[in-house]
Amino acid sequence: MTDPLIKGALDLDPWLEPFQGALIHRQKHAQSLINSVTAESKSTLSEFASSYKTYGIHANWDDHSIQVTEYVPDVQEVSLVGDFNNWDVNAHKLKLQNEFGLWHLKIAANADGSFAIPHDSKIKLSLVLSSGERVFRLSPWLTRATQPEPNSEGKVESHIYEGRFWNPSPADTYQFKSPRPILTDGIKIYEAHIGISTPEPKIGSYKNFTKNILPVIHTLGYNTIQLMAIMEHAYYASFGYQITNFFAISSRFGTPEDLKELVDEAHRLGIRVLLDVVHSHASKNVEDGLNMFNGTDHYLFHGGAKGNHDLWDSRLFNYSNFETLRFLLSNLKFYLDVYKFDGFRFDGVTSMLYKHHGLSFGFSGNYNEYFSDDYVDNDAIAYMILAHKLIEEMGKEEHFKFISIAEDVSGMPTLCLPTSSGGVGYDYRLSMAIPDMWIKLLKHKQDEEWDFGNIVHTLTNRRHGENCIAYCESHDQALVGDKTLAFWLMDKEMYTHMSKLSELTPIIDRGLSLHKLIRLITFALGGEGYLNFEGNEFGHPEWLDFPRVGNGESYNYARRQFNLIQDDLLRYRFLFDFDCSMQRLDTKYGVLSAPQAYVSLKHESDKVVVFERGGLLFVFNFHPTNSYPDYKLGIETAGVYEIVLNSDDEKFGGHGRIEEIDKKTGKPFEFWTQPEAWNNRQNSILVYIPTRTALVFQLKEKVKN
């Protein structure tokens, strides 16, 4: 008899039956951790994850006192220093509260009733290690860290981040006005980075994003934003993946109140905001990070070689450690509570799932690779289950469905099933094979060589019952060293022939056409959600390269040129407008939330793909030269159809070869089905499909055969 802990998983996939033991162990291991932390803290999981309210440095606005609580095991002394006490290591010493290394201090208000530590002043922890050495560290729970200011000569003497006591007055603290939006259509994600979201070669701000980028995203029709590089990272070029301060948001973009305003405005526009959360590893920085915090290599991390990720040059968390769980779970709740994020995209999930971290390991799909103790890190999986139980618990408290997305290349079964069904709990996984496929095709194959059986297989090859986010390209493909789709298609002429006043060359014509077709077929066929990296929707003409020594610390490529879509004489606008129309297919017809498409045709020599999804008929002609008049297509429902999206429309940079409107009547042309079965569908329809064109039809009126 199947254990109820995993019944849902086995009902979906009977091939999991030989691995029942591993699945049950995961759930019981996670539950034992929950029992452990809740019994120890005498609280619920959600209350345990509220430790961010007590750990760290907190102001009490009732009596203007300041409470300091820090977990620092294996040290002789802890004190709080800063501008407020002239960095005197003896002035404000914390007292050891228990044998586990919990230290505490209460600082009373000044004689005049003001806080002893001024708002936004510099602070640090001073520690005397077991060796007797005195070191200075930033509190792991610090909510603000800033880059050192230049001296009188304009030079920055140190690159080590400084801790700040962020405590604005209630009048200056941002108050949220808009509720979290309830989405009724599929998830359409706009992946964005605050710093590059400006055409100018500089670091963009939260304020700029709120004012100038949110309206663009709203116009496009994306209903979810995934914000990258929000957690503080000392090295800008790490793209936010080398976190130094987990509770501090990046100060280079603005203040905490600025970020709250951004999220609130997104909510007002009906857009959810996800945080790109990095719990897979941490920066090796010592003085402004977590590494060697208390003089040991195992503070929140595994000690020795197990605690190092050699390829990423970073530290790896010990997910079996009680205080590590407190820190990471509180980190999640902090961002949901304080900044009102609507969920997370978890980075580096493959690295977390496996002891080998996915390095030099080719996943074949053999289930032993996913459940063998030799490969799998059960402590990390237990942490992820705890994280999702916390997210579920918070969702019940707020009557809201928070979203979680896994960046996993391995295809771990049950990863995207609810914990109640025996899964890990993610709502979606990223379909990472899809962008790899498109890049390989553009890089290695001529158009005539494209294998549409393989293309359709890659787009539809996902686990039943586990949702996927499809995408053609993300930030990975935009980085220097790789190329975006637009660059692979048109880089030879993007700087010379993207003006409407210039000749439409074969390269630009092909590029515009295939850019639209690739994105539409991925959008409609590839998953239960869709993702786009900012700027790629309009074919951004340059790669992404952050300032670093190798490029002379230049910001010239660390930006997105949104000004290009404001110029109606440039062809970038065609791609932007097409993306708008594509997003609205889901908004109007529910494409992404519909069951997986039925593919009725993938014709290799004609290069034609036909499928039905969400009540729409999608038709693609990828052939580089052949157009097809009166091409017979199979379709299930008999009736009258009309075109709702045409990639060859002149407003999208097409050639206008299809007349969509009857000039005599001013009404859309109608396409009538015939009661002739075709390609395993009950009816058929004749359409004209020009070369490199995609058409989408909707049923206007049903008829009886």
In the predicted model, is pLDDT for residue 1 greater than 70?
A: no
- The answer to whether the CB of 623 falls within 8 A of the CB of 607 is yes
- Look at residue 461 and tell me if it is in a domain: no
Q: Of 140, 172, 204, which residue sits at a domain end?
A: 172
Residue 99 lies in a domain: yes
Percent residues over pLDDT 70 in the chain: 99
Question: 503 near 564, Cβ under 8 Å?
Answer: no
Q: Point out the least confidently predicted range of 112-116, 350-354, 540-544, 594-598.
A: 540-544
Q: Using the 3D structure, point to which of 138, 172, 206 is the last residue of a domain.
A: 172
Span 366-382, average pLDDT: 95
- Read off the pLDDT band of 154 (50, 70, 90): low
Q: Is residue 420 part of a domain?
A: no
Question: Could you write out the DSSP letters of every residue in 469-517?
Answer: EE-S--HHHHBBTB--HHHHHHTTTTTTS-BTTS---HHHHHHHHHHHH
Flag whether pLDDT at 461 surpasses 70.
yes
Look at residue 614 and tell me whether its pLDDT is greater than 70: yes
Indicate whether 425 pLDDT > 70: yes
Tell me what pLDDT residue 585 has.
97
The pTM assigned to this predicted structure is 0.96
Token reading at 80 = 């709080």
**Which of the residues 13, 232, 288, 407 is marked catalytic?**
407
| Listed residues 172, 189, 223: the one ending a domain | 172
Burial degree of 366 (CB within 10 A; 0-12, 13-18, 19+): exposed
Mean pLDDT value across the chain:
95
User: Is residue 57 assigned to a domain?
Assistant: yes
Distance CA 287, CA 162 (A): 9
Tell me, yes or no, whether 681 lies in a domain. yes
3-state DSSP assignment of residue 285? coil
Q: Is residue 446 part of a domain?
A: no
- Whether the Cβ atoms of residue 440 and residue 479 lie closer than 8 Å to each other: no
> Which of 288, 347, 427, 528 does the annotation list as catalytic?
347
Residue 71 has pLDDT above 90, yes or no: yes
| Cα–chain center distance at 640 | 40
Write the CA distances from 288 to 1, 125, 146, 166, 538, integer angstroms.
53, 11, 10, 17, 39
Q: How confident is the model at residue 661 (pLDDT cuts 50, 70, 90)?
A: confident
Q: Is residue 125 part of a domain?
A: yes
Provide the domain limits for residue 102. Answer: 50-172
Q: What CATH code is carried by the domain that includes residue 150?
A: 2.60.40.10
Q: Say if residue 152's pLDDT is above 80.
A: no
Number of domains in the chain: 2
Compute the average pLDDT of residues 628-652.
97
- What is the three-state SS of 174-193? CCCCCCCCCCCCCEEEEEEE
| Residue 152: burial class (beta carbons within 10 Å; 0-12, 13-18, 19+) | exposed
Helix (H, G, I), strand (E, B) or coil at 531: strand
Residue 40 has pLDDT above 80, yes or no: no
Q: How far apart are CA 469 and CA 319, in angstroms?
A: 27
176-195 tens-digit pLDDT: 999 999 999 999 999 999 99
Answer whether residue 464 is part of any domain. Answer: no
Identify the pLDDT of residue 91: 97
Give the CATH number, domain containing residue 656.
2.60.40.1180
407 tagged catalytic: yes
398 is an active site residue: no
